């Protein structure tokens, strides 16, 4: 048997071992079967519905229906993710807002004094409200959390469940015991009424399957020769908030470009690499092109003028572009990079909040449905530009037992360090 390898993101999975099968055996029960062990029915604890009483908010902003749901007003603490709130965790019927902490305090009226976004759990006062601009308010409500439980084969040969830690977003996997073989996960994305097949994530593969090594792309081959010769290589990571990544606990080591350059230097120890970053949260390539001279994000001054040898671009915020619009805009960028003698690698974006992907589940989602991603694949094939296809890796996470939404720190579009690694993996695959 081949030597065991470490799973891409979590725990230990043995290569080439037959996967376990997960079958529903009740509303909160799963039968797990794996060769070499007796089948076991595992009882899964339903989501814990937490009650919050008289949560104090010093002031209450006006409700802004034009903003994104996570930014329409004050945020309930029990729903807070890394920088927003997490959707679908609130029981809207449980929400009550009072002028004081006691049950006898004045009860404010929804639609008159305040408005609540029931999906995102944000709330704000309305014009003419009885709530003053500088008045504290007290919120009472119930909410669920996300949870990821691990199914393992113990060192004693028994199938067991290791409960994970509930969180509002990016729930962590349970700590496995020594000798545990990780068979898969059971995912509770919110306050679900019962388990469904879509919540079962057996590990079907231990890592993303890399294609057989073949000839490198001509651009990559040229870059490799430069790295091997120890010639200077200035790389510009250009992107949006995912490239900026101020939200990460340690972005100097966790950003995709930092992970990539560390691994590139390990592979080519004689390389002389300078890594630069130009990123603008909440914006896209069109935003850069529209900025006037002197702007901190003017395209000509902050991208072209730094004269990179290689541009690596990541723009999940370009996802609204259709293939014809990708061709139009990216052809201009390509001509600009060629004019300054820069090579270009394009990263496809990660998967974002399921509702934004038109997903109703996080299994069987290998194919990215966004026209933008198809546009990038068409553009790079037509113009012979290297493509680092991170989207493909996100699409297969479910096969590794991982619901991809558990990697999003804000439950919307900000991947954690593990998600950032998938970008680095896609880039390193080009340099194999």
Interatomic CA distance for residues 388 and 264, integer angstroms: 15
What DSSP character marks residue 359? -
Interatomic CA distance for residues 19 and 214, integer angstroms: 29
Alpha-carbon 42 to chain mean position: 29
Q: What is the dihedral of CA 33, 37, 38, 39, to 10 degrees?
A: -10
Give the pLDDT score at 16: 61
Question: Which residues in 154-250 belong to E strands, given as ranges?
Answer: 159-162, 181-188, 200-202, 232-239
Sheet with strand 50-57: strands edge to edge: 50-57, 137-143, 90-98
Interatomic CA distance for residues 184 and 40, integer angstroms: 14
Give the pLDDT score at 136: 98
- Per-residue pLDDT of 153-191, as tens digits, reads 999 999 999 999 999 999 988 899 999 999 999 999 998
Interatomic CA distance for residues 111 and 129, integer angstroms: 9
H/E run at residue 149: strand 147-153
- Are 244 and 280 in contact by the 8 Å Cβ rule? The answer is yes
Give the pLDDT score at 412: 95
- Token digits of residue 188: 């509770």
Interatomic CA distance for residues 297 and 293, integer angstroms: 9
Q: Which residue, chain included where needed, has tokens 């092109």?
A: 289
Q: What is the DSSP string of 77-114?
A: GGGB-SSSB-TT-EEEEEEEEESSSSTTSPBP-BTTTE
Nearest to 427 by CA among 382, 389, 374: 389
Adjacent-strand bridge partners of 50: 143
- Are 288 and 299 in contact by the 8 Å Cβ rule? The answer is yes
H/E run at residue 395: helix 390-395
Give the pLDDT score at 124: 98
Question: The whole model's pTM is what?
Answer: 0.93
Average pLDDT of the residues of the chain: 95
Interatomic CA distance for residues 411 and 360, integer angstroms: 15
- Are 313 and 344 in contact by the 8 Å Cβ rule? The answer is yes
Give the pLDDT score at 424: 98
3-state DSSP call for residue 46?
A: coil
Please report which residue ranges of 229-370 form alpha helices under DSSP H.
Answer: 241-244, 251-254, 256-267, 285-290, 299, 323-339
- Token digits of residue 84: 């927003």
Give the pLDDT score at 14: 35
pLDDT mean by block of 10 residues, the chain; 432 residues: 34 62 98 93 96 98 97 97 94 98 98 98 98 97 97 96 95 92 96 96 96 93 97 98 96 97 97 98 98 98 98 98 98 98 98 96 97 98 98 98 97 96 98 94
Domains in the chain and their CATH numbers? 5-47+146-202 (no CATH), 50-143 (no CATH), 218-430 (3.40.50.1110)
CA atoms lying within 13 Å on the CB side of residue 260: 30
- Are 306 and 272 in contact by the 8 Å Cβ rule? The answer is no
Nearest to 418 by CA among 208, 276, 277: 208
Interatomic CA distance for residues 200 and 21, integer angstroms: 9
What DSSP character marks residue 168? S
């Amino acid at each position: 048997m081949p030597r065991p390898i470490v799973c891409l993101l979590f725990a230990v999975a043995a290569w080439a071992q037959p996967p376990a099968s997960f079958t529903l055996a009740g509303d909160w029960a799963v039968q797990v079967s794996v060769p070499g062990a007796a089948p076991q029915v595992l009882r899964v604890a339903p989501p814990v519905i937490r009650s919050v009483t008289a949560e104090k908010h010093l002031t209450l902003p006006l409700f802004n229906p034009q903003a994104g749901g996570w930014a329409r007003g004050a945020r309930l603490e029990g729903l807070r993710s890394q920088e927003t709130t997490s959707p679908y965790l609130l029981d809207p019927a449980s929400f009550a807002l009072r002028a004081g902490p006691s049950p006898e305090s004045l009860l404010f009226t929804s639609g008159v004094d305040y408005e609540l976004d029931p999906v995102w759990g944000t709330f704000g006062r309305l014009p003419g409200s009885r709530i003053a601009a500088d008045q504290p308010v007290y919120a009472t409500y119930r909410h669920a959390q996300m949870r990821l439980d691990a199914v393992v084969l113990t060192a004693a040969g028994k199938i067991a469940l290791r409960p994970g830690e509930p969180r509002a977003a990016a729930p962590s996997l349970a700590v496995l015991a020594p000798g545990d073989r990780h068979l898969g996960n059971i995912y509770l994305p919110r306050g679900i009424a019962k388990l469904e097949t879509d919540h079962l994530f057996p590990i079907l593969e231990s890592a993303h399957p890399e294609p057989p090594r073949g000839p490198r792309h001509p651009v990559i081959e040229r870059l490799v020769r430069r790295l091997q010769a120890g010639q200077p290589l200035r790389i510009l990571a250009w992107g949006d908030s995912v490239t900026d990544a101020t939200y990460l606990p340690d972005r100097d080591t966790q950003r995709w470009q930092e992970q990539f350059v560390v691994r590139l230097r390990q592979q080519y120890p004689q390389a002389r690499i300078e890594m630069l970053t130009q990123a603008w949260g909440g914006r896209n390539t069109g935003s850069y092109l529209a900025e006037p001279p002197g702007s901190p994000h003017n395209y000509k001054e902050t991208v072209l003028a730094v004269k990179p040898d290689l541009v690596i671009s990541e723009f999940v915020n370009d996802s609204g572009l259709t293939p014809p619009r990708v061709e139009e805009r990216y052809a201009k960028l390509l001509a600009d990079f060629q004019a300054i003698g820069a090579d270009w690698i394009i990263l496809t974006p990660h998967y974002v909040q399921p509702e934004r992907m038109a997903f109703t589940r996080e299994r069987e989602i290998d194919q990215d449905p966004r026209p933008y991603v198809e546009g990038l694949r068409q553009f790079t094939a037509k113009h012979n530009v290297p493509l680092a296809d991170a989207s493909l890796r996100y699409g297969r996470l479910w096969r590794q037992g991982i619901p991809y939404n558990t990697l999003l720190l804000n439950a919307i579009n900000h991947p954690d360090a593990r998600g950032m690694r998938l970008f680095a993996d896609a880039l390193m695959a080009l340099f194999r």
